[in-house]
Chains A and B, each alone.
Chain A
Amino acid sequence: MTGLRTPPQTGPATPPGDDFAEPEAAAAAIARKPGARLGLAGWLRWGWRQLTSMRTALILLFLLAAGSIPGSLLPQEGSNPTAVSQYYASHPVLAKVFGGLSLFNVFGAPWFAAIYLLLFASLVGCVLPRTLRLAGSARQPPPKAPRYLDKLPFSASYTAAAEPEVALQAAAAVLSGKRFRVRTGPGWVSAEKGYLREVGNLLFHLALLGCLVSIGLGGLFGYKADRLLVTGTSFANTITALDEFHPGRMVSPNDLQPFTVSLSHFSASYLTSGPLLGQPSAFNAAVRYADTPGGPTRPFTLSVNHPLVVDGVRVFLIGHGYAPTFRITDGTGHLVFSGAIPFIPVETSGLTSEGAIKVPDAQPQQLGFIGVFLPTAVDSGGQLQSRFPAPLNPVVSLVSYAGNLNMNSGPTQSVYSLNTAGLHRLPIAPQPLAVGQSMKLPGGLGTLTYTGYQQWVSLAITYDPGQLPALVSGVAVLAGLLLSFFVRRRRVFVRAEATESGGTAVDVGGLTRSDAAGGFEDEFSRLAAEMSGQAAKE
């Protein structure tokens, strides 16, 4: 279905039904209006022809492109569910309309699937008949040479001293030598080359289908998961241990490969000078992993662009942040919390991070805190800001609450934010705490000590059995494309006749289909020159 430029009036060289013919001829046949007496079969045939026409394919291609646009401009459920909920909150009416049209999940929407399935049906309907025709034409010899070769788009003539038969033999020898398929007749030679062009065209379109099937395979049997891991902790690849889990339709929880990963150390380095101050230059996570729980562990250095592969599953380093550590005693003097709380970065230049601490075990009231972590806190006009992403002056500032955390009722809460509905804010101004500093809560509700910080990494865990088929299909797409663009299907005809003066007049004619890369005129003139030279030698 690639470009085609056959010069007009190719005469008898393009008999009807020959695939050198213009596609419009076929299109015109397809475009026949259905008559009133068409039966069901006739209508079906008409519908199929409409679907597989180039015009329909073009419209479907356009729809595919246009349909993708909202997927790039609106937040998508698959990649950014938080942004989708934010959109619902800020534009409730519009979001409802968009949601109804699946515009927040364009690439999983039924209408998007309808477009690409129709496109592929159209494509198969176009490509399959071509395959059959190719199989037919590959067994056929080239057509007879037309009567008047100078009417062809490329033509040449020369005279030879040899007899016509000898001159023709010489021409046929040159063409065979160039791997043309040659057919001879009385007074003429015809030759054809470049069958791979059609093969490439078919390969391209079938390989596109292969891409779709591979993506489908991944969607059925693959899964994606996320896990945030603080230094010094570990997790096993089970559903309960994963923060996010997006299984394919055919994946059950028992199918997960049971490896474990622990994070020993994470290091990040940043540019410390120049105009790009603070830009990260390297992230490395030292992990230990085991194929099975309790199995022998092995070390691995995980970095961006360098995933860990365990049992066919790949683990990627996709993010990092800080988890300040706290010790909290309640009003009764008991230690009710000691550990690290992952804070989520809200900006990249200074890695200012936000998080929430929830202490449901505190007595007499439950405690909650909303905090900001500043890796390199600098006073700028009375306000603290983080000026560098590395922890040079790690400071925490907290707003304190007491009351009911409502953790056992109501909708599921995010661990990174506090639901303040059942809480009251304690009358203590948020003050910046340096590592080791404590904050006494008013009313004898307890004490919080900021003891330090850990680093955390976020890991993406993916399994996709469609990966290799997709790669193979992709390579085939490219190979098909190159063949169909750069192989020329061309025919060369030669006629020789004795002239009155005793010599032989040789006419050469050439015809090519879609000379996309150009250059047939050069090849044709070289061939003509060689044939002329060969005839002179005979």
Chain B
Amino acid sequence: MPVNSGLADVSNDFLLAAVVIYALAMLAYACDFAFGKKPAKAAAAARVPALVGAGAAAGSGDGESAPAVTAPAGAQASGRFGVGRWVAIAVALTGIGLAAHTTGVILRGVSVDRLPWGDMYEFVTALTCVAVAFFLAAMIRYRAYYLGLFVMVAVVLVLGLAETVIYTPAGPLVPALQSYWLAIHVTAMTLATGVFFVAAVAGITYLFVDRHARRVAAGRPTGSDGILRRLPGPEALDRLAYRTVVFGFPIWTFGVMAGAIWADRAWGSYWSWDPTETWAFITWVVYACFLHARATAGWRGRRATVIQLLGFGCLIFNVMVISLVVPGLHSYAGLT
């Protein structure tokens, strides 16, 4: 298939634009922390009415009333922010950046007439796209605006690195990658990596917030805590990170299994302990550790979060070091 290099250049322009827009969004999130209205940090009453019932007869005097439902306090904690001006700007910028990012990824695919995650550069641009999309979804679902700054810092860094250090010109795939399993295996790995990315950001934020909360509880001086006071409590962050990992873990498992099936079709052995495979396995085991640790007394909280971040560290080590430096069957994923 010939490469449409004009289209590939347009794709690059869109991706560069996305980096710039994300950087602006990052500034807007930072401005919200700096200048936005302080949220009413009312220590939420233990029970907060969550549903003012659908029962139309409520209070109409016929003896029926709509159910007043109470839910655990933690479930409500993330929903206590009104959307400020800066947040509105930041979210809009994130949306525009994501549109440019997605367009860039799609155009890259069109220019080479295949799925746009066939080399490391494409993989990184695609996975950051997933991370931003998943973050936007989590932001809407859990109203987790506070994570915006942290996600954007990470995305701008990684995407900027992709555009400068590991940029690879558009081209067709080597024969080893010419398989529909590329679509299945790498898509799953890209999705899972993007999701774990968000979980890691939530985990890091949790560690800071938790430390702050402990200091406050211990009555020790907390230093400058402008940002920390505006974040939700550690419980809400911990739950967000956990739910994100729970969402990503089956996708990762599926991706590793799809990779095994592909390896079986391509190399004749579904598991060869190739370095990249080994680190995917290590990543899986560490995330499994996290899931178990979170259900175990004495490991819950900080320790579990450290394990989660360790898992993400393994993932990044695999992508950035093992695939590029250590020779193995996955070496073609590296730079030319």
A262 → chain B closest CB, angstroms: 20
Please give the distance in Å from B129's CB to the nearest CB on chain A: 23
Q: Among residues 140 to 170 in chain A, which have CB atoms less than 8 Å away from a CB atom of chain B?
A: 150, 153-161
User: Is B281 a contact of A68 with CB atoms below 8 Å?
Assistant: yes
- Name the B residues within 8 Å of A183 (CB-CB): none
The digit string for A489-508, where 1 denotes a CB below 8 A from any CB of B, is 00000000000011100001
User: Contact mask A507-538 → B, CB, 8 Å, 1/0?
Assistant: 01000001011100100110011011101100
CB-based contact A274/B50 at 8 Å: no
Residues of B close to A22: CB separation below 8 A: 297
- Given A274-B5, A477-B253, A529-B67, A316–B175 Cβ distance below 8 Å? no
Residues of B within 8 A of A7 (CB): 72
A314 within 8 A of B: yes
Q: Are B169 and A305 in touch, CB under 8 angstroms?
A: no
Task: Please state if B322 and A156 are interface contacts (CB–CB under 8 Å).
Answer: no
In the complex, what residues of A have CB within 8 A of residue B273's CB? Answer: 68, 71-72, 76, 78-79, 106-107
Cross-chain contact A529 with B53 (CB below 8 angstroms): yes
Residue-wise interface mask of B (59-71) relative to A, using a CB-CB cutoff of 8 A (1 in contact, 0 not):
0001111111111
- Do A460 and B267 contact each other (CB < 8 Å), given the known contacts A69-B282, A72-B326, A532-B53? yes
Beta-carbon contacts under 8 Å, B275-334 to A: 275, 278-279, 281-282, 285-286, 288-289, 291-299, 314, 322, 326
Residue numbers in B under 8 Å from A61 (CB-CB): 285-286, 288-289, 292
Are A160 and B64 neighbours in the complex by a CB distance under 8 Å?
yes
Q: How far is the CB of A393 from the nearest CB of chain B, in Å?
A: 23
Contact A474 B169 (CB under 8 A): no
Q: Residue A307 at the B interface, CB < 8 A?
A: yes
**Are A274 and B66 also in contact (CB < 8 A) when A58-B299, A305-B266 are?**
no
CB distance B266 to A529 under 8 Å? no
CB distance from A147 to the nearest CB of B (A): 18
- Minimum CB–CB distance from B265 to chain A (whole Å) comes to 6
Closest 9 CB pairs of A and B: A462-B268, A276-B171, A24-B297, A275-B169, A528-B67, A72-B278, A161-B63, A72-B275, A156-B69
18 A-B pairs (CB sep. < 8 Å): A2-B292, A3-B295, A27-B297, A72-B322, A73-B275, A73-B326, A156-B70, A159-B64, A160-B64, A224-B268, A279-B336, A282-B178, A461-B268, A482-B250, A508-B67, A518-B239, A525-B51, A535-B64
Question: When chains A and B are docked, how far (Å) is the Cα of A61 from the Cα of B296?
Answer: 14
**B271 interface hit (Cβ, 8 Å):** yes
Q: Chain A contacts of B171 at CB under 8 A? A: 271, 274-276, 279
Q: Among the listed A3, A107, A318, A481, which residue makes an inter-chain contact with B242, where contact means beta carbons less than 8 Å apart?
A: A3
Check B243 against A478 for contact (C-beta < 8 Å).
Answer: no
Is A521 a contact of B260 with CB atoms below 8 Å?
A: no
In the assembled complex, which residues on chain A have CB atoms less than 8 Å from the CB atom of B53?
Answer: 158, 529, 532
Q: Which residues on the A side are within 8 Å of B174 (C-beta)?
A: 279-281
Residues of A within 8 A of B278 (CB): 68-69, 71-72
| CB <8 Å contact, B172 and A521 | no
Complex contact A3–B246 (CB within 8 A)? yes
Does A283 belong to the interface (CB within 8 Å)? Answer: yes
State which of A27, A160, A215, A276 has its C-beta within 8 Å of the C-beta of B169.
A276
Q: Which of B36-70 contact A (CB under 8 A)?
A: 50-51, 53-55, 57, 62-70
Take A62-B289, A281-B172 as given contacts and tell me if A521 and B246 are in contact as well, using a CB distance cutoff of 8 Å: no
CB pair A521–B75 under 8 Å, yes or no, is: yes
Q: How far is it, in angstroms, between the C-alpha of A465 and the C-alpha of B36 when the chains are bound?
A: 64
Of B65, B176, B250, the contact of A305 (CB 8 Å cutoff): B176
A419 to chain B, nearest CB (A): 27
Give the number of residues in B that approach A within 8 Å (Cβ atoms).
74
The chain B residue with its CB closest to the CB of A61 is: B289
Q: Is the CB of B271 within 8 A of A215?
A: yes
Tell me which of B247, B260, B267, B270 has the highest count of chain A C-beta atoms within 10 A of its own C-beta. Answer: B270
Q: Across the interface, do B71 and A524 meet the contact criterion of CB distance under 8 Å?
A: yes
B274 interface residue (CB < 8 Å to A) = yes
Which of A22, A274, A514 neighbours the largest number of chain B CB atoms within 10 Å of its CB? A274
- A232: Cβ under 8 A from any B Cβ: no
Tell me, yes or no, whether B222 is within 8 Å of chain A by CB: no
Question: Are B175 and A158 touching (Cβ within 8 A)?
Answer: no
Nearest A residue to B296 via CB reads A54
**Those of B1-57 within 8 Å (CB) of chain A:** 3, 5, 50-51, 53-55, 57
B69 touches A2 (CB 8 A): no
- Among B68, B69, B174, max chain A CB count under 10 A is at B69
Chain B residue with Cβ nearest A8: B72
B254 at the interface (CB under 8 A from A): yes
A107 closest partner in B (C-beta): B273
Given contacts A79-B273, A274-B169, A462-B269, A161 and B291 within 8 Å (CB-CB) = no
A279 to B112, CA, bound (A): 14
Query: Is A131 interfacial (CB-CB < 8 Å)?
Result: no
Residues in chain A near residue B69, CB distance under 8 A: 154-156, 521, 524-525, 528
Output the nearest chain A residue to B235 by Cβ-Cβ distance.
A5
A282 and B55 CA atoms in complex are apart in Å by 66
Taking the nearest CB of chain A, how far is it from the CB of B284, in angstroms? 9
Known: A72-B279, A155-B70, A482-B250. A79 touches B274 (CB 8 A): yes
Q: Does A65 contact B (CB under 8 A)?
A: yes
Report the Cα distance A58→B286, complex, angstroms: 9
